[in-house]
A and B are shown apart, each in its own frame.
Chain A
Amino acid sequence: MKFFLSHRYKKIGVMLAPLGFCLWLVMQLGYIKRLLIYIFGQINGSYEWSVYHIVNVVAAVLGFFSFLIGLYFISFSKEKIEDEMVQKTRLDSFQFAAILQIITIIIGFLFIMFAGDLGESRMMLFFIVLVFLFWLSFIGRFNYMLHVKYISNDKYCKRRKDKEAVYSSSIS
């Protein structure tokens, strides 16, 4: 439990991860390059050695690592009240994510065996998806169990702000 971050990192992660993903996606779709060409005009000489290419690479690295760090903050930050139910839910969610990843790997390799070589870039994409699948399924299940399923019938939760209502209804 020592390597878990405090609860405020979760909020930072929630903001950082989508921003990083959007930046990475924008770069992948070529919008940054188009924007640079629109503002500064066409490239003189080779694109590989141009400032445009460097800006693209920096945007990609920045976006990718922001997304990863955001996911790390969300996954490894404590809840407001960290008790045994939260810890058990976290452990169960890790197990769920691991099993889902193993199933995906098996299906992926069966697909490769029967469909043939996918090519280097598609294989790379497959492995990136595998990594993100683990973390996203973990985060999804953990938060669903904790904030939706466990309290789905909790009538007091709907009126959480009204403490007096909580008090009177729970002892009546």
Chain B
Amino acid sequence: MTNTVKEERIKKQFTQAQLAEMIGVSRQTIFSIEVNKYVPSVVLSLKLAKAFGKKVEDIFTLQGSD
């Protein structure tokens, strides 16, 4: 699964720390999601989508191997 969390965050001019604080996780978690080291749960994905004002499927995309 790929995501556009980093692109959306930069568009919104949030730092990783700010975004982490908004959705109640650590900054390391945001970093891990951005570099695809960690796949977030549905709840966290919805929180991220809400923070960016977008739909979940606009941020997270399935790949052929998924």
- Interface residues of chain A, those whose CB is within 8 Å of chain B, are 79-81, 83-86, 88, 146, 149-151, 153-154, 156-157, 166-167, 170-171
- Interface-central residue, A81, A88, A166, by most chain B CB under 10 Å: A81
Chain B residues within 8 Å of A146, by CB? 28
Chain B residues within 8 Å of A81, by CB? 20, 25-26
A154 to B37, CA, bound (A): 12
Chain A binding surface SS class = helix
In the complex, are the beta carbons of A167 and B15 less than 8 A apart?
A: yes
In the complex, are the beta carbons of B31 and A166 less than 8 A apart?
A: no
Partner of B15 from A88, A149, A153, A166 at Cβ < 8 Å: A166
In the complex, are the beta carbons of B15 and A171 less than 8 A apart?
A: yes
Q: Does B51 contact A (CB under 8 A)?
A: no
Partner of B26 from A83, A88, A166, A171 at Cβ < 8 Å: A83
Chain A residues within 8 Å of B20, by CB? 81
Nearest CB on A from B52, distance (A): 14
In the complex, are the beta carbons of A153 and B26 less than 8 A apart?
A: no
Those of B13-53 within 8 Å (CB) of chain A: 13-17, 20, 24-29, 31-32, 35, 37-38, 40-41, 43-44
Whether A150 touches B15, Cβ cut-off 8 Å, given contacts A84-B41, A84-B44, A85-B26, is no
Smallest CB gap from A170: residue in B:
B15
A154 to B33, CA, bound (A): 12
